[in-house]
Structure 1
Amino acid sequence: MITPGLALDFSHATPAGLYNYYLGGRAWTEADRETAEAVIRISPDVPAMAKENFKFAGRAASWAVAEYGIRQILDIGVGIVDDVPLDSVEICVRNVAPDATVFAFDKDEVVLAHARALRRGYLGVLRGDITDPDGIFGHPELVGRVDLTEPVLIIAAAVLHFVDDPAAVMAGLRERLAPGSVVVLSHATKTRTSQARVSGMTKAYSNASSPIVFREEEDIAALADGWDLLPPGLVDVQLWSGDGAYEGELYETIRVVGMAARVSVGRAA
């Protein structure tokens, strides 16, 4: 459990705290637990789905690093993962590229407080919001450590379903990233998901610091417009792998889909 700090608000559930609870961590508050358990009553598969999403992020990140030789990774909306019994994006990346530069960003003050206390894993967990790409790419901690004229790998796992206009986010990233850069994303979808469960989960998240928005699969696929969509395209995160070798279990009560997209190498920087 977290020891509350005077400047932090623990009265509302947060995406980071909920995700930590689903993943089997201990860095959640009572508000997180209550909301998470309400979600699980509606969709019992949520903890398993969260673990598959977490593994997807690490699997896709390590694949992109190995496939394209990218050595600069920004994990945006990282959450609290130090106590999670699974390999983080940072660990997965370093398993294939020990020399990689890995930074994490999050806008949640609780996440940042944990990062300041632990000081391990990533080079730094910095304050940043995916809806403010200038704030991320212009962060002073990146100066001299990340070369934005070279390809960058962006991880946005289970982040864009907390954003009102994910298409604007993707357009902003595409405008700022160098050719050859890759974005890995995942998003909860209401396609082939019970409307009652979607409505129930949406209601459960309505009092959290960031409400969740389930979108149709075709609208999530459209986020790759203007990008080079990489195989296998947009699929359930349990089925995503660069070589087609990974195949996890599909669940009945919730779907999260993921994809990787690349900035065309023919585009002018």
Structure 2
Amino acid sequence: MTAGRSHPALAFTRPSTARMYSYYLGGSAWFEVDRAAAEAVLRSAPDAGVVARENFLFAGRAAAWAAKTHGIGQVLDVGAGILSGVPLPSVEDHVHQVCPGAVVVGCDNDPVVLAHARGLRPGYKRILEGDVRDLDTIFGNPDLKTSLNVAERMVVVLAAVLHFVADDQVKGVVDNLRQRLAPGSVLVMSHATSSATDRRRVSGMELAYVDATSRIYFRTEEEIADLLIDWDAVDPPALCDVGRWGLPTPRDGQSGRHVRVVGMAAVLPDSRHGRVRTPGGAR
């Protein structure tokens, strides 16, 4: 699919958050409505594209670390996105580099993501339709159980997903996910934050996403950390800028830029047998 060319079975009258992300990443799976919305974001926050690329690399780096360190051979990438033309290693690229036999399953609710992923992402054993705001659409999908053993530990990636979930839903999503996972599972999560972020840029980005398929909700670092209060955060580095997580020094000076996306990895403890001890850091 080329940029700006529509599919006859689909209407592209609203910007898609997934296709805007493709634009930021230098991919090719976007349309004029997505380009216009993404450029509006970039006018408000010129470094948003750089931060988006750092977030993409963080997701793969953290997922691979979790799979290798914790010996987990199955990964669920929620909000998998579109890889067409993206010049960066993906989650499955990172994971398969350290765990060649790992099974990576993606899910998304964007029809263009599903079309691209099924045709162009051979690293995934399955691509499923599902919405993080309704986890039954993911965990209730019989195809999921043919690929992943939901009774066993898994790595779940929620990279730049929860900031598209409304305030009255987001904590319920995380709590619902926690109840569905086996103890020892690892959650990789990143989220746009209003902490130490120029308020004019936050407002500009919020406005640019008003008419998109999902609005964006900036949260403070404290609010983001509280979402995973029942998990054992890997510390160091705990919650930090995605361009710093798991690296000895921030990549390209991304720590503390005006547009900030922070990320963390956390282990689900077994409440029946006390807390899970996390390995000493992700560096």
**So what's the TM-score if we normalise by structure 2?**
0.90
Identity of aligned residues (%): 50
Q: In structure 1, the residue corresponding to 2:262 is in which secondary structure?
A: strand
Q: What is the match of residue 235 of structure 1?
A: 240
Q: What is the match of residue 281 of structure 2?
A: none
1:44 aligns with 2:49: no
Q: What is the match of residue 189 of structure 1?
A: 193
Instruction: Give the conservation status (yes or no) of the 8 Å contact 2:192–2:262.
Output: yes
Q: What is the match of residue 64 of structure 2?
A: 62
1:136 aligns with 2:138: yes
Q: What is the match of residue 245 of structure 1?
A: 248
Q: What is the match of residue 259 of structure 1?
A: 264
Instruction: Give the conservation status (yes or no) of the 8 Å contact 1:179–1:267.
Output: no
Instruction: Give the conservation status (yes or no) of the 8 Å contact 2:231–2:267.
Output: yes
Deviations 1:93-147 (A, max 9, x none): 0000010010000001111122234352311221011122222122111223211
1:1-269 to structure 2, matched below 5 A, reads 1-2=2-3, 3-118=5-120, 120-164=122-166, 165-231=169-235, 232-241=237-246, 244-248=247-251, 249-250=253-254, 252-267=257-272
* Stretches of 4+ aligned residues off by more than 6 angstroms: none
AA at the equivalent of 2:155: L
Q: In structure 2, the residue corresponding to 1:93 is in which secondary structure?
A: helix
AA at the equivalent of 1:71: G
Q: In structure 2, the residue corresponding to 1:58 is in which secondary structure?
A: helix
Q: 1:95 to 1:246 in 2, by over 3 A?
A: farther
CA distance in 2, matches of 1:226, 1:116: 35
The gaps in structure 1 that reach 5 residues or longer are none
CA distance in 2, matches of 1:267, 1:184: 23
AA at the equivalent of 1:136: I
Q: 1:216 to 1:77 in 2, by over 3 A?
A: same
CA distance in 2, matches of 1:247, 1:119: 29
- The count of corresponding residues between Structure 1 and Structure 2 is 266
Displacement of 1:28 in angstroms is 0.5
Instruction: Give the conservation status (yes or no) of the 8 Å contact 1:105–1:127.
Output: yes
Q: In structure 2, the residue corresponding to 1:173 is in which secondary structure?
A: helix
After superposition, the CA RMSD in angstroms is: 1.5
Q: In structure 2, the residue corresponding to 1:53 is in which secondary structure?
A: helix
**So what's the TM-score if we normalise by structure 1?**
0.95
Deviations 1:55-81 (A, max 9, x none): 100110010011000111000001101
CA distance in 2, matches of 1:225, 1:267: 17
Instruction: Give the conservation status (yes or no) of the 8 Å contact 2:243–2:250.
Output: yes
